[in-house]
């Protein structure tokens, strides 16, 4: 393990202890930057240590990540996201979706006429995307594979928080994006109600995989430092925020961590098979009772600009 620095303010910024996040036999610690309010894992993990927390169960089954009904819902969310994103452009162009998973969003963008490319760290997820006919490379952004100004749009959907060096990646994005191109980001919001209420039980904390968690102010600051100007920022997400209330509440009730999330993943995962029938029944009953309150709270938090995740669009000036 090694000490981490704020990706926005750098090593000279002061930090304060923020929270401890236990996970099984492990203890992880997050600190908050006194300059911008970003929260990050410190000490950080070495690449090999971090990789051990991205096992096969994390990526779901061989053929899909989630159960069929959930995959259908995810496709609908991806189509809505593609529609929102396309409105920033007069005509389709070239897109690079970083951390594209099995390519659901990329497929939706291709349906809007875009020429799509993706990157994905998981060979299993990348294989799913390729079976769907998508052009997806395994690994980080392959900067050598593309000349400068190759893309009109680069997207990071729930990816930025996983990156060991977000600032370095923003430099790569600036090179690959054409002038006037757009970068889209969705990421957990450390100034959200959910982060405040649930602390280390918050679903979107996801220790230790989430290395950096930004406030809206910090996100805008790191983007501005790399020549990106904010176009739009939203605090509401049907895809992420109601589920955040739901799963975080279950986590506080003594359930095993993220048990509902495990249940909705493809049934071939090891952890899924270990859940007892009684546990599944209890989780389903509580989920039904909490569903409407979770939606209402998500609407309220977004109106007051305290959404659990934020979606932001930036333009390269």
Nearest to 260 by CA among 298, 291, 297, 238: 291
Q: Give a yes or no: residue 307 inside a domain.
A: yes
Rounded to two decimals, the pTM is: 0.93
Q: Give a yes or no: residue 112 inside a domain.
A: yes
Q: Give a yes or no: residue 25 inside a domain.
A: no
Domain total for the chain? 1
In this predicted structure, the answer to whether residue 116 has a pLDDT above a threshold of 60 is yes
CA–CA dist 38, 214 (Å, integer):
5
Contact 260, 247 (CB under 8 A): yes
CATH number at residue 117: 3.40.50.150
Q: Is the peptide bond before 208 cis (omega within 30 degrees of 0)?
A: yes
Q: Give a yes or no: residue 45 inside a domain.
A: no
The confidence band for 273, taking pLDDT boundaries of 50, 70 and 90, is: low
Question: CA distances (Å), 255 to each of 155, 206, 251, 286, 308, in order?
Answer: 34, 16, 6, 11, 21
Question: What share of the chain in percent tops pLDDT 70?
Answer: 96
Query: Which are the contacts of 240, defined by CB distance < 8 A and separation ≥ 6?
Result: 158, 186, 204, 308, 309
In this predicted structure, the answer to whether residue 111 has a pLDDT above a threshold of 90 is yes
Q: Looking at the DSSP assignment, which residues form a beta bridge with residue 44? A: 2
Q: Give a yes or no: residue 53 inside a domain.
A: no
CA–CA dist 26, 257 (Å, integer):
14
Q: Give a yes or no: residue 186 inside a domain.
A: yes
In this prediction, residue 252 carries a pLDDT of 94
Q: Give a yes or no: residue 283 inside a domain.
A: no
pLDDT per residue as tens digits for the range 124-136: 999 999 999 999 9
pLDDT per residue as tens digits for the range 30-59: 999 988 889 999 998 998 999 999 987 788
Q: Give a yes or no: residue 86 inside a domain.
A: yes
Tokens of 228: 């990106």
Domain that holds residue 140: 61-243+299-316
In this predicted structure, the answer to whether residue 65 has a pLDDT above a threshold of 90 is no
């Amino acid at each position: 393990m090694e000490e981490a620095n704020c990706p926005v303010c750098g090593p000279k910024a002061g930090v304060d202890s923020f929270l401890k996040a236990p996970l099984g036999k492990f203890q992880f610690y997050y600190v908050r930057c006194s300059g911008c309010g970003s929260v990050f894992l410190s000490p950080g993990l070495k690449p090999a240590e971090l990789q051990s927390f991205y096992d096969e169960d994390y990526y779901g089954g061989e053929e899909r990540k989630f159960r069929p009904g959930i995959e259908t819902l995810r496709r609908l969310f991806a189509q809505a996201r593609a529609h929102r994103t396309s409105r920033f452009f007069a005509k389709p162009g070239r897109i690079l979706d970083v951390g594209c998973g099995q390519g659901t969003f990329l497929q939706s963008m291709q349906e809007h006429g875009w020429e799509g490319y993706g990157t994905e760290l998981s060979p299993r997820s990348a294989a799913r995307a390729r079976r769907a006919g998508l052009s997806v490379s395994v690994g980080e952004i392959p900067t050598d594979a593309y000349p400068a100004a190759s893309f009109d749009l680069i997207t990071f959907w729930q990816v930025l928080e996983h990156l060991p060096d977000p600032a370095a990646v923003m430099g790569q994005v600036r090179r690959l994006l054409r002038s006037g191109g757009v970068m889209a980001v969705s990421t957990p919001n450390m100034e959200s109600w959910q982060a405040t209420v649930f602390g280390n039980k918050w679903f979107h904390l996801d220790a230790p995989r989430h290395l950096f968690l930004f406030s809206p102010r910090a996100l805008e600051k790191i983007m501005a430092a790399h020549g990106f100007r904010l176009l739009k920022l939203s605090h509401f997400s049907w895809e992420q925020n109601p589920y955040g209330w739901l799963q975080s509440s279950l986590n506080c009730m003594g359930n095993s961590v993220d048990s509902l999330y495990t249940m909705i993943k493809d049934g071939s995962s090891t952890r899924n098979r270990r859940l007892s029938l009684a546990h599944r029944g209890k989780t389903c009953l509580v989920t039904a009772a909490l569903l409407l309150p979770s939606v209402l709270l998500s609407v309220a938090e977004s109106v007051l600009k305290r959404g659990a995740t934020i979606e932001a669009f930036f333009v390269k000036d």
